Structure 1
Amino acid sequence: MKISRVEAVPFAIPYRKPLRFASGSVSDAEHVLVRVHTDDGLVGTAEAPPRPFTYGETQESIVAIVTTVFAPQIVGLSPLDREQVRVRLDRTVGNPTAKAAIDMALWDIVGQALGVPVTDLLGGFGDRMRVAHMVGFAEPAEMVAEAGRMQEQYGIATFKVKVGRRPIGLDVAACRALREAMPEAEIYIDGNRGWTPVESARALRALADLDLQFAEELCPADDVLGRRWLVTQSSVPIFADESAPTAGDVTRELLGGSATGISIKTARTGFTGSHRILAQCEGLGVEVVLGNQIDGQIGSLCSLAFGAAFEGTSRRAGELSNFLDMSDDLLAEPLEIRNGTVRVRQAPGLGIEIDEDKLRHYRTDAR
């Protein structure tokens, strides 16, 4: 079995409302569907979500790098040659979500070929995960109302609250309102690098009585000394996200004292890279959270397949519900969140079946 073709299809699906956070905002899911074809008819599928304000990738750049640079390097290889694929793709710097999508699509093919779910191939720890929902920038009452809807409709009891605005009092008020409305909920905050270290320390002091699970990426990734200082000031764990996109970055953040936990995102490091980062964190005794790249259902299904496979990623609720903010999606069988959890699909591979009519409707290249 050999890789015969690699397909990159850009598509755009509107969000029900713009998602706003400190590093930017999005009004449409302008993602790329990546499909790896084999000569015996198997097709591996994944999703690449560009985040130009974080990694520099755009929808156009992902399509270009996949079709003109990566595809020629891996066509003719076996889907089992994942390390050879990784080495070849890593000759090109950057482009994390494009590389990750190819990696996950290859795992999808292997699972299909063997007739087993990818979760079982990776580790087989569980068959479901608890879900955390991201609450974006809005007035405090609106943020509380959104969290309430998620709890009532889907049973979600863990919330990632976006912070990083100035003045910090608005975010403090939102977190307080959410805690008052949901005294039993698990709450953590994500600043997307929006505050300075001093502002971050101030905010954490103001939130000290809210029993936050942790705080994620509150200040700029390149503020090395400030980030280390913030860890010494914080009474809650500080998790690295955008500052730790590679295994080397994880080493720097943890051993340098700039973070005490790591967010793992399969959309950024695929299954192969994410597994290495998880093992690295486990070896150092560091906790992780399964993050989200504002993925659609395809990306969320990939994250779920990885997160449920390991005990380490299953301890905390995974960020698996951002697709609820989209007006539509491409899966023929939508993901379902029930009682605050989502189940792994038991089909071979990732269990992804694309609704081709929807893909034709939402794709943005020449039809």
Structure 2
Amino acid sequence: MKIVAIEAIPFAVPYRKPLRFASGEVHTADHVLVRVHAEDGVVGTAEAPPRPYTYGETQASIRAVIDTVFAPELVGLSVFDREKIHAVLDRTIANPAAKAALDMAIWDVMGRRLGMPVTELLGGWTDRMRVSHMVGFAPDDVMVAEAQRMRDEHGITTFKVKVGRHPVSLDTRACRALREALGPEVELYVDGNRGWSTAEAARALDEMADLGLTLSEELIPADQVLGRRWLTGRTSIPTVADESATRPGEVTRELLDGAATMVSIKTARTGFTSSQRVLHLCEGLGAEVVMGNQIDGQLGTACSVAFGAAHRHTSTRAGELSNFLDMADDLLVEPLRIADGELRVPTGPGIGVEVDPDKLAHYRTDS
């Protein structure tokens, strides 16, 4: 079943409130909808969220590389030529979100053609995941109120706290306020988005040592090699490599160097195929994983939960699957719903969701 056409459609959906973290802030989901058309009329769809301050991609660059570099080489290949497809993608460096969206849209075509959910094709471990919600970079009472609302309305009891502010005390105080308000039964962990120095991160972990944090993620930049190794070695809290470990080679480096003890897998940057390679590498090295989020919309979140639920190791911990709740609207016909702290994998072939053509027409920015 050959690929006959590929579309990269820009769209913009506003957030209800700005999302802020150490590496930047986002006011609008300026994403790209990627469609892969097969010769029998089956269409696969995925979402590419650009993060210029993290990976260097923009909405314009994602469209350009798909339209001018990838599409001319992929059209004519069969969707089942997975190694040939990735040979084409791997010839071009970087561009992770563009590559990931193409990969997932092709998996969507395969699932639809075979009449099977992608999550079953990938592994079929379970049909749902526990959900973690992100809070941070706001006054303490605002963060506490949001976490309490997520617990009351959606049953979420795992929270990722965005840290990395200056001074450090802003974040340690916020984490303490969350722990005191939510109680010991709620899971809290922190993500610095590379915002602190080694000394600041060490101080922060010391100040929060009694809060029962379960993970610490990317507190300092990836190029602070000695600092990361020293920081990971002095704490009992598992250290998660995220944007420093986007490819199998980087994962190997971070784990074997002692800079991290866990890895965050994000389908928005490694698709389904490369995410499996990262997962299997981590399993072979005995490292835990967590499903991360690249501030995906509902389509991207559907991809994340499909992959996370497909495998035993990715479904062990709560996945970061709730950022779409901060968007004012979305593109899907049937919206995703989080209940009792869980998100179910959408049913149906492929990724299991459908894009509403009227909403796409309203939010697309190229017409």
The TM-score range, normalised by the shorter chain, is over 0.9
Q: 2: distance between equivalents of 1:82 and 1:134?
A: 34
Deviation at 1:182, TM superposition (A): 1.1
Q: 2: distance between equivalents of 1:65 and 1:203?
A: 41
* 1:208–1:235 CA contact under 8 A, matched in 2: no
Identical pairs, percent = 67
Q: Which residue of 2 aligns with 1:45?
A: 45
Deviation at 1:162, TM superposition (A): 0.2
Amino acid in the other structure paired with 1:4? V
Q: 1: distance between equivalents of 2:81 and 2:132?
A: 34
Q: Which residue of 1 aligns with 2:147?
A: 147
TM-score normalised per structure 2: 0.99
Q: Which residue of 2 aligns with 1:4?
A: 4
Amino acid in the other structure paired with 1:221? A
Q: Which residue of 2 aligns with 1:186?
A: 187
Q: 1: distance between equivalents of 2:353 and 2:307?
A: 14
SS state at 2:250 partner = helix
Q: 2: distance between equivalents of 1:277 and 1:193?
A: 21
- CA deviation vs aligned residue, 1:86-130 (integer Å, no higher than 9, x gap): 111111110000000000011111111111100000000000000
Q: 2: distance between equivalents of 1:342 and 1:76?
A: 36
Amino acid in the other structure paired with 2:361? R
Q: Which residue of 2 aligns with 1:240?
A: 241
- CA deviation vs aligned residue, 1:274-330 (integer Å, no higher than 9, x gap): 001101111111111000000000000000000000010011000000000000000
Extract unaligned runs of 5+ from structure 1.
Answer: none
Q: Which residue of 2 aligns with 1:341?
A: 342
- Correspondences of 1:296-335 after superposition (within 5 Å): 296-335=297-336
Deviation at 1:192, TM superposition (A): 0.1
Deviation at 1:82, TM superposition (A): 1.4
- Correspondences of 1:140-289 after superposition (within 5 Å): 140-183=140-183, 184-289=185-290
SS state at 2:210 partner = helix
Kindly report structure 1 stretches of 4+ aligned residues shifted beyond 3 Å.
none
- CA deviation vs aligned residue, 1:187-245 (integer Å, no higher than 9, x gap): 11000000011110110010011111110000011111111111112120110001001
Matched, 1:26 2:21: no
Q: 1: distance between equivalents of 2:83 and 2:269?
A: 17
TM-score normalised per structure 1: 0.99
Amino acid in the other structure paired with 2:24? G
Q: 1: distance between equivalents of 2:285 and 2:248?
A: 13
Matched residue count: 366
* 1:45–1:352 CA contact under 8 A, matched in 2: no
Deviation at 1:352, TM superposition (A): 2.0
SS state at 1:35 partner = strand
Q: 1: distance between equivalents of 2:223 and 2:35?
A: 35
SS state at 1:342 partner = strand
Q: 2: distance between equivalents of 1:130 and 1:348?
A: 22
Q: 2: distance between equivalents of 1:47 and 1:137?
A: 26
Deviation at 1:83, TM superposition (A): 1.3
Q: 1: distance between equivalents of 2:362 and 2:7?
A: 17
SS state at 1:153 partner = helix
Kindly report the root-mean-square deviation, in angstroms, between the aligned alpha carbons of the 2 structures.
Answer: 0.6
- Correspondences of 1:26-175 after superposition (within 5 Å): 26-175=26-175
Amino acid in the other structure paired with 1:92? T
* 1:297–1:330 CA contact under 8 A, matched in 2: yes
SS state at 1:32 partner = strand
Q: 2: distance between equivalents of 1:340 and 1:97?
A: 28
Q: 1: distance between equivalents of 2:243 and 2:363?
A: 29
Q: 2: distance between equivalents of 1:277 and 1:91?
A: 19
- CA deviation vs aligned residue, 1:237-268 (integer Å, no higher than 9, x gap): 11000100100000000001100000000000
Deviation at 1:21, TM superposition (A): 0.3
Q: 2: distance between equivalents of 1:68 and 1:41?
A: 23
Q: 2: distance between equivalents of 1:289 and 1:6?
A: 31
SS state at 2:138 partner = coil
Amino acid in the other structure paired with 2:139? E
- CA deviation vs aligned residue, 1:322-356 (integer Å, no higher than 9, x gap): 00000000001000101000111220111121111
SS state at 1:288 partner = strand
Amino acid in the other structure paired with 1:236? I
Query: Which deviates more from structure 2 when the two are superposed, residues 297-306 or residues 221-230?
Result: 221-230
